[in-house]
Homo-oligomer: A and B are copies of this chain.
Amino acid sequence: MRTSIATVSLSGPLTEKLTAAARAGFDGVEIFENDLIGSPLTPEEIRERTADLGLTIDLYQPMRDIEAVPEGEFARNLRRAEHKFRLMRRLGADTVLVCSSVSPQAHDDDALAAEQLRRLADLAQEFDIRIAYEALAWGRHVSTYDHAWRIVEAADHPALGVCLDSFHILARGSDPAGIEDIPGDKIFFLQLADAPLMALDVLQWSRHYRCFPGQGDLDVAGLVGAAVRAGYEGPLSLEVFNDVFRQAEAGRTAVDAQRSLALLQESAGLTTPPAPVVPTGFAFVEIATADTARITPLLTALGFSRTARHSGKPVDLWEQGAARILLNTDTGSHRPDPSLTAIGLENPDPAAASSRAESLLAPVLPRRRAPLDAPLDAVAAPDGTEFFFCATGRPGHPSWTGDFTPAAHTPGGIGVTRIDHVALTQPWHQFDEAALFHRSVLGLQPHASIDLADPYGLLRSRAASNPEGTVRIALGVGASPTDDPARPQHVALVTDDLVTAVRRARAAGARLLPVPANYYDDLAARHEFAPGELETYRELGILYDRDEKGEFRHCYSATIGSLFFELVERMGGYDGYGAQNAPVRLAAQRT
């Protein structure tokens, strides 16, 4: 289906919004009236610019407080509408959105509403314009789509139809199945937005917290399916009011929006892009640093050995069990602090995963930037982290390990078996985009969003994983935008015996994060432990959590720059990340 986006969904002046929408591949736009009013371009110039960019103007919006009012008031409304219809002709827009009235003067009188909308449609028809009537969720008398449809049906005018907005319909809990009872050619327009479920006044919810389909909790795909079954053939158009998108760069918001629509059409069964290929494990993480003086002693103390060196690049492979870390000193910059720049994911079908990523507008990495020579498929996530689709050691696939020459080393280790999860702090404006990327492009399932208390603000965190829990990525975001480019990252390593692993790491000189004694006094109050157990945790700086499924032990290394490591032991079916302990960890990292 054709795709469209409301200019209000993007930041900046109108011309920047149009350019961003065109570059991201949208077919059309909805022109939000305030964007036009604030623009120095005439309607004719906007029409020309839009056409030059290959965009159609699918909707002009909104027209408010028109119907079911006293006759004198309605005469003034018709006069106002005529001005707007003339403007729309100059603009080349042929459909206008009319929202159900919120005016205190409006009567609760469907017959009057239908009669006045019919007269409005008569006037519109003279200008070859169509009226798409939408029930606002907070409309004074008309607040549900079926009610709006009954009025449109009664008005019975060829230039009058309904506009369906997924937010207004789903936020009120209306059943979208009734959409199928509306003739498709009377559904003049379909506006799409998602939103996280919130117990908030619906007007505020709508104006500040809408997001692109797939980023929230509403079943937008189900609604689209109903509209298509009803026979709707117009564009799928995104209308999203969001406080963060308003500040974000329009170009990347538009790409995020297109990706959302691609996933939505797939979910609604309208398209069949390359299917997602769920990763099965971590192949490696790559850490780049110009200066290895601080990172290699820590890796060594954590039990890693340098097992191989890349044949042609200054990249070392460090291994322990199935945990692999690439240390890349070819950073192309002067940053001495190590940072996590790439993640290799084991994938059953790397080529298919790459095709899917491409179909979802994920930036495919140019080969020359890749730290590896094997023809691996790789894409860049919104935060710049590179994801490689790997088939380590599997016959018939190029193995990235082939680029490496084994180095002499003494096998050892502290008992780390593999990577448990990677935690990546996201740029503030890209948190929802990142969650959608990890879900749609990488095929991971996102979990609920939680707040973690840092001494200087609340952090939001959301994990995504594969069903087996062998690939886990935790996305975090700070309390507010910051210009500090150093965003905390960490790599968590699995061990089956954390106490032994920590003892060995400490003996090898690993610097671990000190945990305040008060934490253990609190643990003693909250749980009962086997004799000596709590004392061991206290001695070694081990954190502990328990839920109905199992237990979790973990500890953290000291931080180098903004990178640190975690050692974890999962017991029973514990599936979390020790969120209960996050405030203590964050406070300790601040001191």
Task: Give chain A's interface residues, CB within 8 Å of chain B.
Answer: 11-13, 33-34, 36-43, 79-80, 83-84, 87, 198-201, 204, 208, 243, 246-247, 428, 453, 455-458, 479-483, 514, 516-519, 521-522, 524-526, 583-584, 586-588, 590-591
Contacts and interface: CB of A to CB of B under 8 A. Distances in A.
Given A42-B518, A247-B457, A522-B37, A480 B483 contact: no
A126 to B, nearest CB: 17
A34 B480 contact: no
B521 A87 contact: yes
A311 B482 CA distance: 46
Q: Which of A37, A428, A522 has the most CB of B within 10 A?
A: A37
Per CB-CB distance, the 3 closest pairs between chain A and chain B, nearest first, are A199-B201, A38-B587, A83-B525
A290 to B, nearest CB: 26
B199 A514 contact: no
Contacts of A201: 198-200
Contacts of A584: 34, 37-38
Contact of A80 (B198, B246, B525): B525
Nearest to A453: B34
Nearest to A8: B453
Given A201-B199, A480-B480, A525-B80, A457 B243 contact: yes
14 contacts: A11-B457, A13-B591, A37-B522, A38-B584, A38-B586, A38-B588, A39-B518, A87-B521, A87-B525, A198-B204, A243-B479, A246-B453, A481-B482, A483-B483
A247 B428 CA distance: 15
Contacts of A34: 453, 583-584
Given A13-B591, A199-B201, A199-B204, A519 B243 contact: no
B12 A455 contact: yes
A38 B87 contact: no
The count of identical subunits is 2
Contacts of A40: 514, 516-517, 588, 591
Contact of A246 (B83, B247, B479, B590): B479
Contacts of A428: 480
Contacts of A524: 83
Given A42-B517, A521-B83, A584-B38, A457 B591 contact: no
A522 B583 contact: no
A573 to B, nearest CB: 21
B526 A13 contact: no
Contact of A455 (B36, B38, B480, B522): B38
A580 to B, nearest CB: 10
A516 B39 contact: yes
A336 to B, nearest CB: 24
Given A34-B583, A34-B584, A37-B519, 9 more contacts: A11-B457, A33-B522, A37-B584, A38-B516, A40-B516, A40-B588, A42-B517, A200-B200, A208-B458
Nearest to A86: B521
A12 B198 contact: no
Contacts of A246: 453, 456-458, 479
A87 B482 CA distance: 38
B517 A247 contact: no
Contacts of A483: 483
Nearest to A428: B480
Contact of A456 (B208, B247, B514, B588): B247
A208 B204 CA distance: 16
A518 B36 contact: yes
Contacts of A455: 11-13, 38
Nearest to A38: B587
A518 B14 CA distance: 13
Contacts of A38: 455, 516, 518-519, 583-584, 586-588
A214 to B, nearest CB: 23
A264 B128 CA distance: 62
